[in-house]
Amino acid sequence: MSRRIVFLDRQSLIADLRAPAFAHDWIDHDQTRPEDVVARLQDTDIAIVNKVKLSADTLAQAPRVKMIAVAATGTDIVDLAYCRAHGIVVSNIRGYAVHTVPEHAFMLMLALRRNLIGWREDVRAGLWEKADQFCLFTRPMNDLYGSTLGLVGYGTLGHGMQKLAEAFGMIVLVAEHKDATAVRTGYTAFDSVLAEADVISLHTPLTAETRHLISTREFGLMKRTAILINTARGNLVDEAALADALKSGRIAGAGFDVLSIEPPREGNPLLDLDLPNFILTPHVAWSSREAMQTLADQLVDNIEAFVAGRPHNVVS
């Protein structure tokens, strides 16, 4: 039996996709608008998505879909409850970004701790040329060595962050869940991590519980010299509260690779910030060529495993 496979946003993945080892009909769409999803999933057995949302209403109109292969780790775009209730297997990608996301997070971290953007601005403004000595002292600079990294989320990416942090000579604290009644061995209470860390890096999924995990209260717990890094999901942080914290000097800086709505076609408080202590990149931490190829290979592995009757990387 031939399986019909539809990739709804093929343009989101720059990699070679090998043909699955079974009879199939594969259709690629570079992008798919919300109003076109249902039509494109008609008579489809396996749907591949990266960021196209698949709601319960949408899936109810595509009854032939039996597998959703998410071309990413995060699955907040899929109504998992509907899939469980209707026997739709959802598989995601795991471990592919263990190097690329931590490297990106550390790029942001180093740039902010060492004030890279500020120094560049000063050189462009001609301040070095006017200096009385061989160097400028117009900006503060801090080492990573000896500083404390607070990790919120301790899965594959959190472990990857810890490995790099220890190579830099950092102290690592792993945060317990925000509202936990007990603290597990090897973890530190959430509020204590916020209060003690020089750099806080987010690596947790977006759920109802983690939405706005960091807001005004949490910024109030942080050191004024602290830096917040977010390469996970935009809605983990209250963006208006972050903008206020940066403009008021409540924290020293932030490096973000994500926003609450992507692309931000109707604006965002963070897009309006023109500060040397805020760096925003366009959700690319995951997308090194090496990582995307690993993702593509695992994506096809997941599809082949499902067709063989041994689903792999299933999201419960």
Catalytic residue among 99, 159, 283, 312: 283
Is 224 among the residues known to form the active site? no
Angle 100-113/156-167 helices, nearest 10 degrees?
50
Is 104 among the residues known to form the active site? no
Beta carbons within 8 Å of 87's beta carbon, 6+ residues apart = 66
Catalytic residue among 262, 265, 266, 289: 262
Is 283 among the residues known to form the active site? yes
**Is residue 43 a contact partner of residue 4, using CB atoms and an 8 Å limit?**
yes
Going by C-alpha positions, the residue among 175, 177, 229 that lies closest to residue 207 is 177
Q: What are phi and psi of 161, to 5 degrees?
A: -65, -45
159, amino acid identity: H
Catalytic residue among 3, 218, 233, 239: 233
What is the full DSSP assignment across 83-138? HHHTT-EEE---STTTTHHHHHHHHHHHHHHTTHHHHHHHHHTTTTTT-SSSS--S
- Tell me which DSSP letter residue 220 carries: H
Distances 3 to 16, 281, 295 between C-alpha atoms, Å: 20, 38, 21
Going by C-alpha positions, the residue among 120, 163, 162, 119 that lies closest to residue 137 is 119
Residues recognised as catalytic: 233, 262, 283
